[in-house]
Structure 1
């Protein structure tokens, strides 16, 4: 009876559940966006070079590849509230270490401790799936996805100006640590609901080690490919060993009755297309960010293309389309309810494809190119909020956090591979007179992203129709 009462309260007062989770996801986006924007400042503060500074993003990225599925599964097993608190404690310690760090290795240690940042969204999705009915969880997931976009946009847009006004990046890093402390204090209050339905079984540590090893080898090798060279023994060795580790993980998971990730369920027609589209979304969305910034920064008189915007303007030009993503993510539950989630996701990827097409056609005219960017980001919001909803609902309720964590890792892996591919295209298609990437390189990358988006629109149609499940009577 107590479980039923608790569930009635959580459904009738969803804001009490959602508000703190939105704060945690906002922190996730804000810290990641801020550190990305501060990379040049941090590099100079730590007296290192650009190649070594690339490990600042790679360290947290690799840590997240391990932490996200582990924290998601532990949340399903032992309670999402508990793992949110553990994650925020690690983030707080890591943020403080980054603010104090006198050298790059110490800073990287802090970034590793911040790896659980990426588990904020999966753990929050698991909690709302446990506490709310289907309609409520759909609205909650759309708001959480919107909050992640808003946090990243705000962090990227404000970190640079705040650093300039405060006289350096240390002040901004200390502000991030203070925000982490405040979120940890919030997590320790009774405002965070306790998970009512927990998964049975125990943690699959063998699967966690093999999956973490495989992802670390894959993403770490990709991250170093552009600096060490793709034929470097370290890079080649990592790329060869990664599929071996991931293959051993699949084999161990199939033999384990209670695996970290249910590989058979992932391969089913009900959910496999959504996972594949999550990877594609990472390629298109995350992989295209650096390309967009580079094109806005390129000076037409020197490169023969681009718009030559000042650095402080680039952040603002990127922020507006990101706000469009925020808005479309926020209304995705309503759109999905009206159109159905398959149709909404099809529309999302068609908007992405159309946006890249407009950017290719209008690459010489800023208003037209920017219109294409806005169209693409409208699709981004619908895609990255709709996919976690479909994946979490197609998964067992007591594995919602784990399934969302797998989606998150696939999206991040797609972004890493796309970033490496973009760097390879840029280095391979140079203009002889300027030794800068040619216009053909940009058009090729935008065209590839458009094709991937069109393929995803077709792929998502393979998912069975997503009907609203019937709710169980409260009594």
Structure 2
């Protein structure tokens, strides 16, 4: 049975290395830079466009290229960590991220900046590799708590990136001031990981290299992500968008067929579709949608000029960061610390269910109450609790159903599911704001933001339904 083949053996011996009291906070810092590097760039896009003298469409590849690299590299690096040992791969990824960060500040050039962002995109693999490190280093009594704290901390990194950008950048400043922060974070993370992360052997599995599997996964995922990222620019029913989407689906279908027949596949199909792991991946996709809608729509809503639109608060990037986002981030950090204890005390699917119910409540409040600053602050705080606790529960839903030597790749798949959810959310928000506008203008209507909040609530409710029925999935054969 698939369930038996995925069952995780007990870790009989704890690996030598730093104590859990040191290792867990260190890995929290290391994996948090993933979210910081993704979101710190978002507020800088207008400045980058102006200072480099390029169009908005060309500058958009700064974000798209980063996501493409993340999508392609995360499962591949997760598998490499499983085979060669997580410490080696973790340090290698941090070196690549440091090189990419240095490129972003070394030249004032769009092509170089895009290359740097591609290299920074490998940082998305830090989280699944970090999960593998914890699983190899901690006993079962500490593992779930450690995973919850690390996952929840990463979830607040997105807001931390926005806050850092708001503090470091002022109108007219060189946009590279924020990228210097990313250089410093990469150096600090590399030093911390070098001294703290313990060595552990990989599976050492051989049997040939699955080149076709790697190529198919890279091409299929990239085509789908390009369709999502460029759909608004090209047109959602334009030939390039449709061709990318269809090609992505077809290539991934062929990739799945190939992986089922390859003796030593790059990613075993059962790690993607088996009834014991599929609920966690689907829930991650849905939580990724809700999380990014909360982050993106709220940040844009509070910056709308009320004099032109009749709603919003006209907040600057700095005000958005400190007034509207920072209180919620503090609450999110607290929730992240608690999430590990909750997952340890209760089943992960039940914790996820409660977290998603909190998310539904937060979006429901936001739909009807968003005209005062205190209402937005409360909504952000509630939604940060949802995201932090949900992120803490998702790895725990996987950990009991995959072997020790599949930990990195399984969590890499889960991370990619969240990434695709975030990409879809970005496309949805952009489409809503572009199509639901104030009559006679191109200014988004208040109804556009309300519609985005409704979508966030619906996806949070859908994730709750997945969590509530995850045990039933184990009796239904999907793979």
Same fold (TM over 0.5): yes
* Cα separation, 1, equivalents of 2:100 and 2:380: 35
2:206 is matched with 201
1:108 is matched with 114
Stretches of 4+ aligned residues off by more than 6 angstroms: none
Is residue 183 of structure 2 the alignment partner of residue 192 of structure 1? no
Cα gap change, 1:426 to 1:209, in 2 (>3 Å): same
Matches within 5 A, 1:357-396: 357-396=364-403
Quote how far apart the aligned CAs of 1:9 are: 4.5
In the alignment, which of 316, 329, 337 is matched to residue 322 of structure 1?
A: 329
Given the two structures, how large is their TM-score scaled by the length of structure 1?
0.90
Cα gap change, 1:192 to 1:42, in 2 (>3 Å): same
Quote how far apart the aligned CAs of 1:17 are: 3.1
* Cα separation, 1, equivalents of 2:12 and 2:289: 43
Cα gap change, 1:113 to 1:62, in 2 (>3 Å): same
8 Å contact 1:32–1:152 — kept in the other structure? yes
Q: CA RMSD in A?
A: 2.4
| C-alpha distance after superposition, 1:302-335 (max 9, x if no partner) | 2132233233211121222132222212211211
Is residue 123 of structure 2 the alignment partner of residue 117 of structure 1? yes
* Cα separation, 2, equivalents of 1:5 and 1:457: 34
Is residue 88 of structure 2 the alignment partner of residue 82 of structure 1? yes
2:247 is matched with 241
In the alignment, which of 232, 238, 242 is matched to residue 232 of structure 1?
A: 238
1:470 is matched with none
Matches within 5 A, 1:399-438: 399-438=406-445
| C-alpha distance after superposition, 1:201-225 (max 9, x if no partner) | 3553322211111111011121111
Is residue 140 of structure 2 the alignment partner of residue 148 of structure 1? no
8 Å contact 1:281–1:414 — kept in the other structure? yes
Is residue 341 of structure 2 the alignment partner of residue 334 of structure 1? yes
Quote how far apart the aligned CAs of 1:199 are: 5.6
Quote how far apart the aligned CAs of 1:299 are: 2.7
* Cα separation, 2, equivalents of 1:346 and 1:188: 37
* Cα separation, 1, equivalents of 2:177 and 2:432: 37
| C-alpha distance after superposition, 1:245-264 (max 9, x if no partner) | 11011111111233222222
| C-alpha distance after superposition, 1:225-283 (max 9, x if no partner) | 11222233322211110101110111111112332222224323322111101000111
8 Å contact 1:363–1:369 — kept in the other structure? yes
* Cα separation, 2, equivalents of 1:192 and 1:445: 41
Is residue 72 of structure 2 the alignment partner of residue 71 of structure 1? no
2:357 is matched with 350
Quote how far apart the aligned CAs of 1:426 are: 2.0
Quote how far apart the aligned CAs of 1:444 are: 1.9
* Cα separation, 1, equivalents of 2:161 and 2:458: 31
Any stretches of 5+ residues in structure 2 without a counterpart?
A: 1-10, 474-479
Given the two structures, how large is their TM-score scaled by the length of structure 2?
0.90
* Cα separation, 1, equivalents of 2:443 and 2:43: 23
* Cα separation, 1, equivalents of 2:35 and 2:383: 20
Is residue 283 of structure 2 the alignment partner of residue 260 of structure 1? no
Aligned residue-pair number: 461
More off after superposition, 438-447 vs 35-44: 35-44
More off after superposition, 386-395 vs 411-420: 386-395
8 Å contact 1:302–1:434 — kept in the other structure? no
In the alignment, which of 217, 226, 233 is matched to residue 211 of structure 1?
A: 217
8 Å contact 2:156–2:384 — kept in the other structure? no
Any stretches of 5+ residues in structure 1 without a counterpart?
A: 467-475
- SS of 2:266 mapped into structure 1: coil
* Cα separation, 2, equivalents of 1:278 and 1:16: 28
* Cα separation, 2, equivalents of 1:451 and 1:153: 22
* Cα separation, 2, equivalents of 1:17 and 1:311: 34
Is residue 5 of structure 2 the alignment partner of residue 34 of structure 1? no
Cα gap change, 1:182 to 1:301, in 2 (>3 Å): closer
In the alignment, which of 455, 461, 465 is matched to residue 468 of structure 2?
A: 461
* Cα separation, 1, equivalents of 2:436 and 2:244: 26
* Cα separation, 2, equivalents of 1:365 and 1:184: 43
